[in-house]
Amino acid sequence: MLMLRRFALASLALALSGVAHAQTAPKGWKVDAAASAWTAEAPDHLKLVFYPAEKSSSTFVYWFEDAGERRARLYGAREVGAEKSVMSFNPEAGQFYAQSRMMEGTAKPFAVLSYGWKAKQGKQLAQIILPPGATTQSASYKAAFEQLTAAWKTGVAYAPPAG
């Protein structure tokens, strides 16, 4: 559990650093822009996922924790541990929530790191899926987190392609 807390806290610390273009994948990553999500997968199988922004009347933290858990379960695993949500604030970008979950399924345990913010289009959830053995020190994680925080800082929300 301490490792999960370090993931979330390291992520929040990085959130206050450099900006890049939102919802673009680093060179060599596979991208799938579908109605259900925008997913970029690194060669080492780390995934960055943006889900469509949601309109919800529930408080942000309740929505965030519920949406994060629902989406984490899409990976065919069960949750074996979660950290309490933590919030960071940037005067220009607003609130930024983070929560980490350890999941296990048929393979080794893996981490799902959830992040959320408010955008004009609604409440935005994005996740980084760390495959077994991956850490927040990897180049793939740092690239994914840079894209995610750029989206937060510019208020970008994922809008699925029409059709």
Q: Output the pLDDT for position 125.
A: 94
User: What residue ranges do the domains of the chain occupy?
Assistant: 2-154
Q: What is the pLDDT along the chain (163 residues), one digit of tens a residue?
A: 444 444 444 444 333 333 333 477 888 999 998 889 999 999 999 999 999 999 988 888 889 988 988 888 887 666 666 666 676 767 777 788 888 888 877 667 788 899 999 988 899 999 999 988 888 899 999 999 999 888 988 888 888 777 5
- Contact partners, residue 110, CB within 8 Å, separation at least 6: 75, 77, 102, 103, 104, 129, 130, 131, 132, 134
Give the count of beta carbons closer than 10 Å to the beta carbon of residue 43. 10
C-alpha to C-alpha distance for 129 and 154, rounded to whole angstroms: 22
2-154 CATH: 3.40.1000
- Contact partners, residue 20, CB within 8 Å, separation at least 6: 146, 147, 150
Q: Output the pLDDT for position 40.
A: 95
Q: Output the pLDDT for position 163.
A: 59
